[in-house]
């Protein structure tokens, strides 16, 4: 099983900066205009380290990575970034709302020993090919994990959960994200509590929720560097036995649909098709209909349908995958009936409809979210779901705590 340990975190000094001004969303969801806004918000915003700008005069030695290193070192000298004097776990609580419901996600920032995937640390979905050189070069320049991997474990004992629940006093630092969620960080430095947490997690597999690419980069970095503090990577660990974890669906947009009548005949072999009125709330409809029901919107025809899987195919597929909504959609409808492998992704229902109405896409398929238990089952089976099968929400903020390799050398 994966080894989980406390660490001496690098943190912003709340006496000198406000969390709301220096903390940022994950680099991979920041749009160009928002990156500029973060640059202007505060000269010490983590964006300058984690997602710096390229310059026209950049060279191999003077570029966004060397600037990130310089910022990292200079802010430490100025006391903007400070290092804890002893190893700690860092409890994080995130108060957020989803679909009008108020929820709280809780977990721990910790160091997790890097293992080959499938040996204590498990992926759950396939990932698109994506340049990893950027994250690798940043890690190499700063010798640090500047942003965490979101991971899960399953412990009905809820030892760490109970410790987090009982943290008291004001948070060390806090910040709000773009959607208004409130992220609060607390230090856990009591040796007895640290030992209880380490004991609870010592026999637990770790499942990557969000950050597969970051983990693969950390694994590659470890292979290149050999033994050293980079054998561990910064993770946020949330307990699947808690109630605060939310997974949102990512809907599919497709084009290239020509013969609607013929395609619907194919779909009807495995799905019960029903028309919906224009006023239908597809998200609510799917929620009520439950597993293996999909929404379909055809842009040119301005028509809505529900597609209810009859469960008549995919019997030869591994049991861990055959009833997953994303697998049923991809294997039976997209690949077999439509012959489509190139899809676009959209979180927002209204935006998906808008992009379909505009003619950018011919159809939009809507799904219910993947269950957290599905993530565990598929991962432990050594399998992977299709890309974008899960969207864990809320996203973790960058800059709440940083792990520097230097403080362990």
Query: What would the pLDDT profile of 158-217 be if each residue is shown by its tens digit?
Result: 999 999 999 989 999 999 999 999 999 999 999 999 999 999 999 999 999 999 999 999
Mean pLDDT for the stretch of residues 11-36: 95
Mean pLDDT for the stretch of residues 222-249: 96
68 phi and psi angles, rounded to 5 deg: -60, -45
Largest CA distance in the chain: 68
Residues 38, 49: contact at Cβ < 8 Å?
A: no
Q: Does the pLDDT at position 130 exceed 90?
A: no
Place of tokens 């600037």: 67
Mean pLDDT for the stretch of residues 254-271: 86
Q: Does the pLDDT at position 409 exceed 50?
A: no
Structure tokens at 300: 């040119």
For residue range 136-174, list pLDDT tens digits in order: 999 999 999 999 999 999 999 999 999 999 998 999 999
The fraction of the chain above a pLDDT of 90, given in percent, is 81
Q: How far apart are CA 132 and CA 89, in angstroms?
A: 28
Confidence category of residue 408, pLDDT binned at 50, 70, 90? low
Q: Does the pLDDT at position 283 exceed 50?
A: yes
Mean pLDDT (the chain) is 93
Give, rounded to a whole angstrom, the gap between the first and last alpha carbons of the chain.
25
Q: Does the pLDDT at position 127 exceed 80?
A: no
Angle at alpha carbon of residue 7, lines to 120 and 372, rounded to 5°: 40
Exposed/middle/buried for 33, CB within 10 Å: 0-12, 13-18, 19+? exposed
89 phi and psi angles, rounded to 5 deg: -95, 155
For residue range 77-118, list pLDDT tens digits in order: 999 999 999 999 999 999 999 988 999 999 999 999 999 998
Tell me: cis bond preceding 306? Omega within 30 of 0 counts. Answer: no
Count the neighbouring beta carbons within 10 Å of the beta carbon of residue 205. 17
Q: Does the pLDDT at position 242 exceed 70?
A: yes
Count the neighbouring beta carbons within 10 Å of the beta carbon of residue 407. 16
CA neighbours closer than 13 Å in the CB half-sphere of residue 326 = 26
Place of tokens 């920032």: 109
Task: Give the model's pLDDT for residue 43.
Answer: 97
Q: Does the pLDDT at position 320 exceed 90?
A: no
Task: Give the model's pLDDT for residue 129.
Answer: 64
| Structural domains of the chain in order of their starting residue, each with its CATH number | 4-247+393-408 (no CATH), 250-368 (3.30.1760)
Residue 80: left if φ>0, alpha if ψ -120 to 50, beta else—which one?
alpha
């Amino acid at each position: 099983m994966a080894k989980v340990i406390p660490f001496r975190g690098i943190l912003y000094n709340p006496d000198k900066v406000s969390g709301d001004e220096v903390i940022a969303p994950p680099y991979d969801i920041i749009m160009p205009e928002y990156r500029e806004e973060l640059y202007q918000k505060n000269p010490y915003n983590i964006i300058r380290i984690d997602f710096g700008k390229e310059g026209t005069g950049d060279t191999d030695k003077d570029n966004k990575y060397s600037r990130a290193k310089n910022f990292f070192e200079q802010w430490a000298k100025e006391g903007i970034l400070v290092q804890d004097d002893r190893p700690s776990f860092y409890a994080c609580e995130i108060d957020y709302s989803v679909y009008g419901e108020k929820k709280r996600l809780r977990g721990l920032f910790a160091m997790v020993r890097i293992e080959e995937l499938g040996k204590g640390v498990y992926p759950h979905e396939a990932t698109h090919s994506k340049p990893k050189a950027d994250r690798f070069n940043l890690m190499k320049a700063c010798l640090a994990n500047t942003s965490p991997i979101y991971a899960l474990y399953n412990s009905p004992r809820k030892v760490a959960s109970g410790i987090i629940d009982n943290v008291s006093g004001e948070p060390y630092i806090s910040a709000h994200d773009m959607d208004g969620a409130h992220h609060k960080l607390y230090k856990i430095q009591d040796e007895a509590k640290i030992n209880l947490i380490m004991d609870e997690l010592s026999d637990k597999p770790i499942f990557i929720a969000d950050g597969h690419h970051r983990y693969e980069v950390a694994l590659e970095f470890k292979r290149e560097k050999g033994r050293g503090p980079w054998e561990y990577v910064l993770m946020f660990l949330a307990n699947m036995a808690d109630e605060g974890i939310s997974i949102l669906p990512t809907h599919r947009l497709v084009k290239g649909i020509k013969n609607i009548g013929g395609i619907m005949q194919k779909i009807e072999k495995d799905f019960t098709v029903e028309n919906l009125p224009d006023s239908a709330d597809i998200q609510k409809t799917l929620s009520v209909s439950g597993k293996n029901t999909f929404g379909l919107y055809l842009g040119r025809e301005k028509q809505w349908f529900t597609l209810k899987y009859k469960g008549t195919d995919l019997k030869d597929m591994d049991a861990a995958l055959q009833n997953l909504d994303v697998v049923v959609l991809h294997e039976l409808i997209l690949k077999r009936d439509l012959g489509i492998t190139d899809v676009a992704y959209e979180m927002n229902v209204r935006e998906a409809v808008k992009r379909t109405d505009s003619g950018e896409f011919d159809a939009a398929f809507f799904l219910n979210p993947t269950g957290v238990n599905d993530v565990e089952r598929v991962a432990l089976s050594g399998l992977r779901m299709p890309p974008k099968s899960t969207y864990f929400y809320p996203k973790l903020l960058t800059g709440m705590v940083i792990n520097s390799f230097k403080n362990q050398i």
